[in-house]
Amino acid sequence: MTAPAAARIDAHQHFWRYDPAQYKWIDDAMAALKRDCLPDEARREMASAGIDACVAVQARQTLDETRSLLALADASPAIAGVVGWIDLQAADARLQLELFADHQKLVGIRHIIQSEPDDRFMLRPAFCRGIALLEEFGLAYDILVYSRHLAAAAELAERFPSQRFVLDHLGKPDIRHGELCAWEKSLRLLADCSNVSAKLSGLVTEADWHTWSAQDIRPYLDVAFDSFGAGRLMIGSDWPVCTVAGDYTRVMALVSDYLADRPAQERDAVLGGNAQRFYNLTVTSAAETR
């Protein structure tokens, strides 16, 4: 049964059982994240903000984490989909995908390209061979990059016009220092690819964690809506990472408040409908269950 457009979906969350050896990127500035962050806690936050379901996204590049996220999704109906990881460059990439082919909640794959020393990593022949497999398995690809990688991301999307791509965190503009022009130019280049969507996620952590306001981030949302249109944007919290800069409800309100004066059809699309269609999710809204 197709979920109603009114379902509210957080398109970007993370879950982990904390291990300092596995999560070295969580530094002392993010000490509050050095703990287990699991679906039961997230579900309480989602309920208070009126969110029906979420998409869990990888944070480590291991097959074990993909298995773990799928197990969490099996145990938690609120996790509607999982964006996992496989080694897209590996000679056995197809076999790795086949390991999870029967799991309906695997909806996408992601690689942490932002950490690769080669800014054109995603255009390497081996990586592209892996990307070429995803459409066959019905999987989307999440693009995790900084602003400087956006031009290469556009090249990738152009090479695979039938592949579904989604840009995480709007390409991480440097909101803290007011970077706008160079990022906007590159973002529009990527948005020209009709097979690319974008997540309105992770923006508060690119701003000043302690002093940001909605007005600081509004110009970036303006560019996103003008570039992608409401039909290719989806809300995401980046929980629990976002909590270093704001609580869940405040972070989600950033986008929902921005949408307040827009038509209901656009609000429903960005707050859930687009994620549902993009990832082929099955979600029932709270209103439907009453």
Task: Return the HEC string of 123-178.
Answer: HCHHHHHHHHHHCCCCCEEEECCCHHHHHHHHHHHHHCCCCCEEEHHHHCCCHHHC
**201: nearest Cα among 237, 176, 171:** 237
- Helices vs strands, H then E, count in the chain: 11, 8
pLDDT tens over the chain, length 290 residues: 444 447 999 999 999 999 999 999 999 999 999 999 999 999 999 999 999 999 999 999 999 999 999 999 999 999 999 999 999 999 999 999 999 999 999 999 999 999 999 999 999 999 999 999 999 999 999 999 999 999 999 999 999 999 999 999 999 999 999 999 999 999 999 999 999 999 999 999 999 999 999 999 999 999 999 999 999 999 999 999 999 999 999 999 999 999 999 999 999 999 999 999 999 999 866 555 44
pLDDT of amino acid 2 = 45
pLDDT of amino acid 286 = 57
Tokens 């390991």, located at residue: 99
- The domains located in the chain, with CATH, are 9-281 (3.20.20.140)
Burial 231-265 (b: 16+ CB within 10 A, else e): ebbbbbbbbbbbbbbbebeebbebbbebbeeeeee
Predicted model pTM? 0.95
Residue 218 and residue 90: Cα distance in Å, rounded? 41
**51: nearest Cα among 207, 234, 216:** 234
Q: Which helix (H) or strand (E) holds 111?
A: strand 106-111
Residue 67 and residue 64: Cα distance in Å, rounded? 5
